[in-house]
Structure 1
């Protein structure tokens, strides 16, 4: 699910505004921590937890050309 990073919480955690309208606390897994530098306003893919719907894992960060393509195709408003 696509999400926008709202704020950085520290300790590999972020607030995510997901496309379904739910604000979730996102976690950046250790394998992606050093490879993805995430800032406020970035577009990411988040997978909600099965146990707690209010939390999610960040699995991918889109680059600027990818975001422009998503906007042209109508995935982002």
Structure 2
């Protein structure tokens, strides 16, 4: 199993609510906000993102209701994070 990417300072965990299209996704974040997120070009071609996936996001400094998706967690990592109590406010 690949190593797990943990949130750094300024990054949040979120659960995908809806795929809007055009690289935009609606995500509910651990801080309680719902943000419109953009799939970064670096991961756009490497991983598929579906409804219900756990993702790592970086909110924009100049527009707090928008963010970039940095990483998508596999189900095993999502289960471990849930067991560790890192997903408060998402379920």
TM score, norm. by length of structure 2: 0.81
Task: Select the residue among 25, 31, 36 that pairs with 1:14.
Answer: 25
Structure 1 consecutive aligned stretches of length 4 or more whose deviation exceeds 4 Å: none
- State the number of aligned residues: 77
Please give the alpha-carbon distance, in whole angstroms, between the structure 2 residues aligned to 1:21 and 1:74. Answer: 16
Consecutive unaligned residues of structure 2, counting only runs of 5 or more, are 1-11
Deviation at residue 76 of structure 1 after TM alignment: 2.0
Provide TM-score, normalisation by structure 1: 0.95
Partner of 2:9: none
More strand by share: 1
